[in-house]
Amino acid sequence: MSCALQDLRYALRTLRRNPVFTCVAVLALALGIGVNISIFTLIHALFLTPIPYARPEQLGRVYGHSLDGRATTLFASVPKYERFNSRAPFARADGAVRPLSERRWD
């Protein structure tokens, strides 16, 4: 125990002798901890938090076909979503999302 206390005293004396290094080290640690917490918070919010639906295991994705035969997502607008929701006897739609890859940033 006394060896650890001696090492701690020596480290504090060394840091006190060079305040610029001490300031840079403390700022680097604070920045690293802050960035780490921010990234974890973002990952937690995007990937680890369950989606806000009552039964997420019953969610599905609906595809349609464009005129050239490629598979696309069916909904392009709110009226199309509402029309599908009113005509689909096999499903109940509680909500709709549009994938990020299909969004246009105009």
Structure-model confidence comparison of residues 77 and 14, the more confident one: 14
Structure-model confidence comparison of residues 15 and 93, the more confident one: 15
Q: What is the mean pLDDT of residues 96-102?
A: 57
Structural element, H or E, at residue 39: helix 19-43
Structure-model confidence comparison of residues 17 and 77, the more confident one: 17
Q: What is the mean pLDDT of residues 12-38?
A: 95
Q: Which two tokens stand for residue 58?
A: 């019953």
Rounded distance, CA 21 to CA 19, Å? 5
Domain segments of the chain as ranges: 2-48, 56-101
Confidence of residue 58 (pLDDT cuts 50, 70, 90): confident
Please check whether residue 37 is in contact with residue 45, taking contact to mean a CB–CB distance below 8 angstroms: no
Q: How many other C-beta atoms are found inside a 10 Å radius of the C-beta of residue 15? A: 14
Q: Is the pLDDT of residue 37 over 90?
A: yes
Q: Is the pLDDT of residue 100 over 70?
A: no
Tell me the pLDDT of the chain averaged across its residues: 79
Rounded distance, CA 97 to CA 61, Å? 10
pLDDT in tens, 62-87: 666 666 766 666 555 667 777 777 77
Instruction: List the beta strands (DSSP E) in the chain.
Output: 63-65, 71-73
